[in-house]
Amino acid sequence: MKAKRKTIFGRVDMGKNEEMGKAHFVFLAAMMLLLVGFGRSQEAGKPLVLQEMTWTDVQEYLKTNDMVIIPIGSTEQHGPHLPLGTDFYIATDIAKMISVRTGVVVAPVILAGYSVYHSGFPGSLSLKPETMEQVLFETAEMLIKHGFRRIMFMNGHGGNAIVQSKIIHRINHNTEAIAVALGDYVPLDPEPPEDWFDQHAGVQETSVMLYIEPELVRMDRAEKPEIHLSRQAQKYLLHGRKNPELMGIFWSLLGTPEETGKGGASHQISSNGVWSFSDPKEAKKEIGERFIAQRVESAVNFIESWKQVPSEKK
Protein backbone atom coordinates (compact mmCIF):
# COMPACT_ATOMS: atom_id res chain seq x y z
CA MET A 1 0.00 0.00 0.00
CA LYS A 2 1.34 3.41 -1.01
CA ALA A 3 2.09 5.87 1.73
CA LYS A 4 0.30 9.20 1.54
CA ARG A 5 1.23 12.52 3.12
CA LYS A 6 -1.35 15.14 3.93
CA THR A 7 -0.40 18.74 3.11
CA ILE A 8 -2.18 22.08 3.07
CA PHE A 9 -2.76 21.43 -0.65
CA GLY A 10 -4.38 18.04 -0.12
CA ARG A 11 -2.97 14.51 -0.20
CA VAL A 12 0.14 13.79 -2.27
CA ASP A 13 0.91 10.14 -3.14
CA MET A 14 4.34 8.98 -2.00
CA GLY A 15 6.21 5.87 -3.09
CA LYS A 16 7.08 5.65 -6.78
CA ASN A 17 5.36 9.05 -7.38
CA GLU A 18 7.14 10.71 -4.47
CA GLU A 19 9.41 12.87 -6.63
CA MET A 20 6.48 14.03 -8.73
CA GLY A 21 4.58 14.85 -5.58
CA LYS A 22 7.46 16.89 -4.20
CA ALA A 23 7.79 18.82 -7.45
CA HIS A 24 4.07 19.52 -7.44
CA PHE A 25 4.29 20.73 -3.84
CA VAL A 26 7.22 23.04 -4.60
CA PHE A 27 5.41 24.48 -7.64
CA LEU A 28 2.25 25.19 -5.69
CA ALA A 29 4.18 26.71 -2.80
CA ALA A 30 6.09 28.99 -5.16
CA MET A 31 2.87 30.12 -6.81
CA MET A 32 1.34 30.80 -3.40
CA LEU A 33 4.31 32.95 -2.36
CA LEU A 34 4.18 34.84 -5.65
CA LEU A 35 0.48 35.60 -5.27
CA VAL A 36 0.89 36.61 -1.64
CA GLY A 37 3.78 38.90 -2.53
CA PHE A 38 1.91 40.67 -5.31
CA GLY A 39 -1.27 40.73 -3.23
CA ARG A 40 0.45 42.98 -0.74
CA SER A 41 0.53 45.70 -3.40
CA GLN A 42 -3.26 45.86 -3.46
CA GLU A 43 -4.90 44.67 -0.31
CA ALA A 44 -8.67 44.42 -0.31
CA GLY A 45 -10.27 47.83 -0.60
CA LYS A 46 -6.97 49.62 -1.22
CA PRO A 47 -5.84 51.34 -4.43
CA LEU A 48 -2.68 50.62 -6.37
CA VAL A 49 -0.51 53.74 -6.18
CA LEU A 50 2.76 53.75 -8.11
CA GLN A 51 4.74 55.50 -5.36
CA GLU A 52 3.63 52.89 -2.83
CA MET A 53 4.64 49.91 -4.98
CA THR A 54 8.03 48.25 -5.39
CA TRP A 55 9.57 47.68 -8.81
CA THR A 56 8.74 43.99 -8.51
CA ASP A 57 5.08 44.87 -7.86
CA VAL A 58 5.06 46.92 -11.06
CA GLN A 59 6.77 44.12 -12.96
CA GLU A 60 4.09 41.65 -11.92
CA TYR A 61 1.29 44.15 -12.61
CA LEU A 62 2.49 44.70 -16.18
CA LYS A 63 2.23 40.98 -16.92
CA THR A 64 -1.55 41.29 -16.90
CA ASN A 65 -2.38 45.01 -17.18
CA ASP A 66 -0.93 47.90 -19.18
CA MET A 67 -3.28 50.64 -17.91
CA VAL A 68 -2.36 53.63 -15.75
CA ILE A 69 -4.30 56.64 -14.44
CA ILE A 70 -2.44 59.94 -14.10
CA PRO A 71 -4.30 62.49 -11.95
CA ILE A 72 -3.53 66.13 -12.70
CA GLY A 73 -4.61 68.86 -10.30
CA SER A 74 -3.11 72.06 -8.95
CA THR A 75 -1.79 73.88 -5.90
CA GLU A 76 -3.75 77.12 -5.78
CA GLN A 77 -5.93 79.20 -3.50
CA HIS A 78 -9.40 77.83 -2.79
CA GLY A 79 -10.83 80.50 -0.59
CA PRO A 80 -10.14 80.84 3.13
CA HIS A 81 -11.71 77.45 3.94
CA LEU A 82 -10.27 74.92 1.48
CA PRO A 83 -6.65 73.72 1.16
CA LEU A 84 -4.37 74.84 -1.65
CA GLY A 85 -4.20 71.24 -2.85
CA THR A 86 -7.97 70.84 -3.32
CA ASP A 87 -7.76 70.06 -7.05
CA PHE A 88 -4.88 67.62 -6.50
CA TYR A 89 -6.83 65.80 -3.79
CA ILE A 90 -9.98 65.64 -5.88
CA ALA A 91 -8.24 64.24 -8.96
CA THR A 92 -6.08 61.81 -6.99
CA ASP A 93 -8.78 60.58 -4.63
CA ILE A 94 -11.18 59.94 -7.50
CA ALA A 95 -8.41 58.04 -9.31
CA LYS A 96 -7.79 55.94 -6.19
CA MET A 97 -11.49 55.08 -5.92
CA ILE A 98 -11.41 53.97 -9.54
CA SER A 99 -8.30 51.89 -8.81
CA VAL A 100 -10.01 50.06 -5.96
CA ARG A 101 -12.76 48.95 -8.32
CA THR A 102 -10.69 48.24 -11.43
CA GLY A 103 -7.21 47.33 -10.17
CA VAL A 104 -5.59 49.99 -12.37
CA VAL A 105 -2.41 51.69 -11.14
CA VAL A 106 -2.61 55.39 -10.19
CA ALA A 107 0.51 57.50 -10.84
CA PRO A 108 0.39 61.01 -9.32
CA VAL A 109 3.39 62.63 -11.00
CA ILE A 110 2.80 66.37 -10.66
CA LEU A 111 1.47 68.64 -7.88
CA ALA A 112 1.16 71.99 -9.62
CA GLY A 113 -0.94 73.00 -12.61
CA TYR A 114 -1.60 76.08 -14.70
CA SER A 115 -2.92 78.52 -12.09
CA VAL A 116 -1.21 81.85 -12.73
CA TYR A 117 -4.49 83.75 -12.46
CA HIS A 118 -4.75 82.68 -8.81
CA SER A 119 -1.35 84.17 -7.94
CA GLY A 120 -2.92 87.19 -6.25
CA PHE A 121 -3.46 84.95 -3.21
CA PRO A 122 -0.45 83.63 -1.20
CA GLY A 123 0.59 80.01 -1.65
CA SER A 124 -0.70 79.54 -5.18
CA LEU A 125 1.76 77.79 -7.51
CA SER A 126 1.72 77.68 -11.29
CA LEU A 127 3.59 76.07 -14.15
CA LYS A 128 3.66 77.44 -17.66
CA PRO A 129 1.47 75.23 -19.89
CA GLU A 130 4.48 74.19 -21.98
CA THR A 131 6.46 73.25 -18.85
CA MET A 132 3.60 71.20 -17.47
CA GLU A 133 3.10 69.49 -20.82
CA GLN A 134 6.78 68.59 -21.06
CA VAL A 135 6.90 67.12 -17.53
CA LEU A 136 3.82 65.02 -18.21
CA PHE A 137 5.15 63.87 -21.57
CA GLU A 138 8.55 62.84 -20.22
CA THR A 139 6.83 61.00 -17.38
CA ALA A 140 4.57 59.24 -19.85
CA GLU A 141 7.59 58.28 -21.96
CA MET A 142 9.10 56.46 -18.97
CA LEU A 143 5.84 54.67 -18.22
CA ILE A 144 5.61 53.62 -21.85
CA LYS A 145 9.22 52.40 -21.76
CA HIS A 146 8.30 50.11 -18.85
CA GLY A 147 5.31 48.66 -20.71
CA PHE A 148 2.29 50.84 -19.97
CA ARG A 149 0.30 51.29 -23.17
CA ARG A 150 -3.06 52.69 -22.08
CA ILE A 151 -2.78 56.04 -20.29
CA MET A 152 -5.74 57.81 -18.72
CA PHE A 153 -5.65 61.36 -17.37
CA MET A 154 -7.96 62.41 -14.54
CA ASN A 155 -8.09 66.22 -14.49
CA GLY A 156 -9.24 68.05 -11.38
CA HIS A 157 -8.58 71.66 -12.46
CA GLY A 158 -10.25 73.59 -15.28
CA GLY A 159 -7.08 75.57 -16.00
CA ASN A 160 -5.35 72.32 -17.01
CA ALA A 161 -7.81 71.57 -19.81
CA ILE A 162 -5.59 72.91 -22.59
CA VAL A 163 -2.55 71.04 -21.23
CA GLN A 164 -4.52 67.80 -20.95
CA SER A 165 -5.72 68.15 -24.53
CA LYS A 166 -2.20 68.80 -25.85
CA ILE A 167 -0.52 66.02 -23.88
CA ILE A 168 -3.08 63.46 -25.03
CA HIS A 169 -2.58 64.53 -28.64
CA ARG A 170 1.21 64.39 -28.24
CA ILE A 171 1.21 60.90 -26.76
CA ASN A 172 -1.19 59.58 -29.39
CA HIS A 173 0.82 61.10 -32.26
CA ASN A 174 4.36 60.40 -31.03
CA THR A 175 4.29 57.10 -29.15
CA GLU A 176 2.86 53.60 -29.41
CA ALA A 177 0.60 54.25 -26.40
CA ILE A 178 -3.02 55.38 -26.38
CA ALA A 179 -3.96 58.32 -24.16
CA VAL A 180 -7.45 59.50 -23.21
CA ALA A 181 -9.18 61.74 -20.68
CA LEU A 182 -11.24 60.06 -17.96
CA GLY A 183 -14.26 62.34 -17.92
CA ASP A 184 -14.05 66.11 -17.81
CA TYR A 185 -15.91 69.19 -16.70
CA VAL A 186 -19.50 69.22 -17.96
CA PRO A 187 -20.35 72.39 -19.94
CA LEU A 188 -22.74 74.68 -18.15
CA ASP A 189 -26.28 75.22 -19.39
CA PRO A 190 -26.15 78.09 -21.94
CA GLU A 191 -29.14 79.60 -20.15
CA PRO A 192 -28.22 79.06 -16.48
CA PRO A 193 -30.39 79.94 -13.48
CA GLU A 194 -29.67 83.01 -11.40
CA ASP A 195 -27.39 81.16 -8.96
CA TRP A 196 -25.48 79.31 -11.69
CA PHE A 197 -22.06 80.78 -10.92
CA ASP A 198 -20.40 78.23 -8.62
CA GLN A 199 -17.07 77.63 -10.29
CA HIS A 200 -14.34 77.56 -7.69
CA ALA A 201 -14.32 76.77 -3.95
CA GLY A 202 -18.08 77.19 -3.90
CA VAL A 203 -20.85 74.89 -2.77
CA GLN A 204 -20.02 71.99 -5.11
CA GLU A 205 -16.26 71.93 -4.60
CA THR A 206 -16.61 72.40 -0.84
CA SER A 207 -19.15 69.55 -0.78
CA VAL A 208 -16.71 67.30 -2.62
CA MET A 209 -13.95 68.05 -0.11
CA LEU A 210 -16.32 67.46 2.81
CA TYR A 211 -16.79 63.97 1.37
CA ILE A 212 -13.22 63.01 0.42
CA GLU A 213 -10.96 65.06 2.75
CA PRO A 214 -13.20 66.49 5.52
CA GLU A 215 -10.32 67.02 7.95
CA LEU A 216 -8.82 69.60 5.58
CA VAL A 217 -11.97 71.72 5.32
CA ARG A 218 -12.30 74.77 7.59
CA MET A 219 -16.03 75.43 7.50
CA ASP A 220 -15.61 77.98 10.29
CA ARG A 221 -13.80 80.15 7.74
CA ALA A 222 -16.22 79.65 4.85
CA GLU A 223 -17.90 82.83 3.68
CA LYS A 224 -19.85 84.07 0.69
CA PRO A 225 -17.63 86.25 -1.53
CA GLU A 226 -18.25 89.58 -3.15
CA ILE A 227 -18.08 88.96 -6.91
CA HIS A 228 -16.84 91.73 -9.17
CA LEU A 229 -17.15 91.05 -12.90
CA SER A 230 -15.38 93.44 -15.25
CA ARG A 231 -17.46 95.73 -17.43
CA GLN A 232 -16.48 93.67 -20.45
CA ALA A 233 -17.51 90.40 -18.76
CA GLN A 234 -20.82 91.93 -17.64
CA LYS A 235 -21.48 93.06 -21.21
CA TYR A 236 -20.98 89.57 -22.64
CA LEU A 237 -22.98 88.03 -19.83
CA LEU A 238 -25.91 90.34 -20.62
CA HIS A 239 -25.77 89.58 -24.34
CA GLY A 240 -25.13 85.93 -23.65
CA ARG A 241 -28.45 85.68 -21.88
CA LYS A 242 -30.13 86.58 -25.16
CA ASN A 243 -27.62 84.89 -27.45
CA PRO A 244 -26.22 81.77 -25.68
CA GLU A 245 -23.53 81.32 -28.32
CA LEU A 246 -21.79 84.39 -26.85
CA MET A 247 -21.37 82.76 -23.42
CA GLY A 248 -18.14 81.18 -24.64
CA ILE A 249 -16.64 84.66 -24.87
CA PHE A 250 -17.81 85.43 -21.33
CA TRP A 251 -16.03 82.35 -20.00
CA SER A 252 -12.86 83.20 -21.94
CA LEU A 253 -12.61 86.46 -19.98
CA LEU A 254 -12.50 84.68 -16.60
CA GLY A 255 -9.40 82.96 -15.23
CA THR A 256 -7.05 85.21 -17.18
CA PRO A 257 -3.76 86.70 -15.91
CA GLU A 258 -3.97 90.21 -14.46
CA GLU A 259 -1.55 91.62 -17.02
CA THR A 260 -4.00 90.89 -19.88
CA GLY A 261 -6.19 93.72 -18.63
CA LYS A 262 -9.37 91.62 -18.85
CA GLY A 263 -10.09 91.81 -15.14
CA GLY A 264 -10.30 88.03 -14.95
CA ALA A 265 -7.68 87.20 -12.32
CA SER A 266 -9.02 85.50 -9.21
CA HIS A 267 -8.32 88.42 -6.84
CA GLN A 268 -10.06 90.78 -9.29
CA ILE A 269 -13.17 88.61 -9.54
CA SER A 270 -13.60 87.58 -5.90
CA SER A 271 -13.08 89.22 -2.52
CA ASN A 272 -11.80 85.99 -0.95
CA GLY A 273 -10.93 83.69 -3.85
CA VAL A 274 -14.28 81.90 -3.99
CA TRP A 275 -15.99 82.05 -7.40
CA SER A 276 -19.65 81.62 -6.53
CA PHE A 277 -22.91 83.50 -6.23
CA SER A 278 -23.84 80.99 -3.52
CA ASP A 279 -22.59 80.64 0.05
CA PRO A 280 -20.10 77.77 0.55
CA LYS A 281 -21.61 77.32 4.02
CA GLU A 282 -24.46 75.58 2.17
CA ALA A 283 -22.10 72.76 1.17
CA LYS A 284 -23.02 69.24 2.24
CA LYS A 285 -21.11 65.97 2.21
CA GLU A 286 -24.03 64.29 0.42
CA ILE A 287 -23.75 66.67 -2.55
CA GLY A 288 -20.08 65.81 -2.91
CA GLU A 289 -20.74 62.10 -2.56
CA ARG A 290 -23.22 62.17 -5.45
CA PHE A 291 -20.80 64.10 -7.65
CA ILE A 292 -17.92 61.72 -6.92
CA ALA A 293 -20.09 58.63 -7.39
CA GLN A 294 -21.10 59.76 -10.86
CA ARG A 295 -17.52 60.40 -12.00
CA VAL A 296 -16.22 57.16 -10.53
CA GLU A 297 -19.04 55.05 -11.99
CA SER A 298 -18.57 56.57 -15.43
CA ALA A 299 -14.81 55.95 -15.36
CA VAL A 300 -15.16 52.38 -14.07
CA ASN A 301 -17.63 51.52 -16.84
CA PHE A 302 -15.25 52.95 -19.43
CA ILE A 303 -12.23 51.07 -18.08
CA GLU A 304 -14.03 47.75 -17.82
CA SER A 305 -15.20 48.15 -21.43
CA TRP A 306 -11.66 49.01 -22.56
CA LYS A 307 -10.32 45.92 -20.82
CA GLN A 308 -12.39 43.81 -23.21
CA VAL A 309 -10.29 45.09 -26.12
CA PRO A 310 -7.00 43.14 -26.33
CA SER A 311 -3.96 45.37 -25.97
CA GLU A 312 -1.36 45.52 -28.74
CA LYS A 313 1.85 44.98 -26.76
CA LYS A 314 5.25 45.34 -28.36
Q: What distances in angstroms separate CA 131 from CA 70, 76, 146, 160, 243, one per listed residue? A: 17, 17, 23, 12, 37
Is 138 contained in some domain? yes
Is 214 contained in some domain? no
pLDDT of the chain, 314 residues: tens digit per residue: 444 443 333 333 444 455 545 545 444 444 444 444 444 445 668 999 999 999 999 999 999 999 999 999 999 999 999 999 999 999 999 999 999 999 999 999 999 999 999 999 999 999 999 999 999 999 999 999 999 999 999 999 999 999 999 999 999 999 999 999 997 544 444 444 455 789 999 999 999 999 999 999 999 999 999 999 999 999 998 998 889 999 999 999 999 999 999 999 999 999 999 999 999 999 999 999 999 999 999 999 999 999 999 887 65
For residues 201 and 122, give the distance between their C-alpha atoms in angstroms, rounded to a whole number: 16
User: Could you tell me if 132 and 273 are in contact, meaning their C-beta atoms sit under 8 angstroms apart?
Assistant: no
For residues 155 and 152, give the distance between their C-alpha atoms in angstroms, rounded to a whole number: 10
For residues 252 and 257, give the distance between their C-alpha atoms in angstroms, rounded to a whole number: 11
Is 83 contained in some domain? yes
Is 120 contained in some domain? yes
Tell me the angle at which helices 129-146 and 161-174 cross, rounded to the nearest 10 degrees: 40
Is 172 contained in some domain? yes
For residues 250 and 254, give the distance between their C-alpha atoms in angstroms, rounded to a whole number: 7
- Its domain, for residue 143, covers 43-185+293-307
For residues 96 and 90, give the distance between their C-alpha atoms in angstroms, rounded to a whole number: 10
User: Could you tell me if 160 and 126 are in contact, meaning their C-beta atoms sit under 8 angstroms apart?
Assistant: no
Is 282 contained in some domain? no
Q: Which helix (H) or strand (E) holds 100?
A: helix 86-102
Is 21 contained in some domain? no
CATH number of the domain encompassing residue 168: 3.40.50.10310
**Domains contained in the chain, number:** 1
Is 66 contained in some domain? yes
